[in-house]
């Protein structure tokens, strides 16, 4: 007997929180908190890029589950800090703080910078004090 999901429409609209981040003219990132059937939570990160040849979009999605939040955040923070301090120490990353995005689709509501999105995420999760402890939690490829 095949399983028939009569609540597919409901399952596709299970977003609890959503944040859109415009990154250039053709690229947008979406951060969505969603629920599982068991009323648990997970995060999807979607990159959407407008195609050159037509009006469509290419989308790539990452699913991030609660048990990996801290490890993911630590790895991301360590990687960004490495680029900023070791690879590009003289680059002015703050020069990009003027790029603002709207919180909602109709263009009204509070505005937030790219940096404030990252700062909010970093503040929400505890980060280990030293970079050496970060690498212990991150799987090396």
- Determine the distance from the C-alpha atom of residue 5 to the mean position of all C-alpha atoms in its chain, rounded to a whole number: 29
Report how far residue 43's alpha carbon sits from residue 121's, in angstroms, rounded to the nearest whole number: 12
Report how far residue 46's alpha carbon sits from residue 63's, in angstroms, rounded to the nearest whole number: 9
Report pLDDT for 65.
95
Instruction: Give me the percent of the chain exceeding a pLDDT of 70.
Output: 60
pLDDT at 117 over 90: no
pLDDT in tens, 65-116: 999 999 999 999 999 999 999 999 999 988 877 655 444 444 444 444 445 5
Could you tell me the pLDDT band of residue 35, with boundaries at 50, 70 and 90? Answer: very high
Looking at per-residue pLDDT, the higher value among 58 and 135 belongs to: 58
Neighbours of 21 (CB within 10 A): 18
Cα angle at 118 between 92 and 93, to 5 degrees? 5
pLDDT in tens, 15-31: 899 999 998 888 999 99
Report pLDDT for 139.
46
User: Where are the extended beta strands (E) located within the chain?
Assistant: 15-22, 27-35, 41-50, 57-65, 100-102, 111-113
Tokens 């999605």 identify what position?
A: 61
């Amino acid at each position: 007997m095949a399983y028939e999901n009569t609540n597919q429409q409901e399952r596709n609209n299970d977003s609890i929180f959503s944040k859109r981040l415009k990154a250039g003219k053709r690229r947008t990132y979406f951060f969505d908190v969603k629920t599982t059937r068991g009323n648990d939570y997970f995060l999807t990160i979607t990159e959407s890029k407008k195609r050159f040849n037509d009006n469509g979009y290419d989308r790539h999605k990452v699913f991030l589950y609660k048990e990996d939040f801290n490890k993911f955040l630590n790895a991301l923070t360590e990687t960004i800090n490495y680029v900023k301090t070791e690879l590009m120490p003289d680059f002015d990353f703050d020069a990009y703080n003027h790029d603002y995005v709207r919180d909602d689709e109709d263009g009204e509501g509070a505005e937030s910078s790219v940096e404030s999105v990252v700062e909010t995420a970093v503040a929400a999760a505890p980060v280990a004090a030293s970079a050496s402890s970060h690498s212990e939690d991150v799987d090396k490829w």
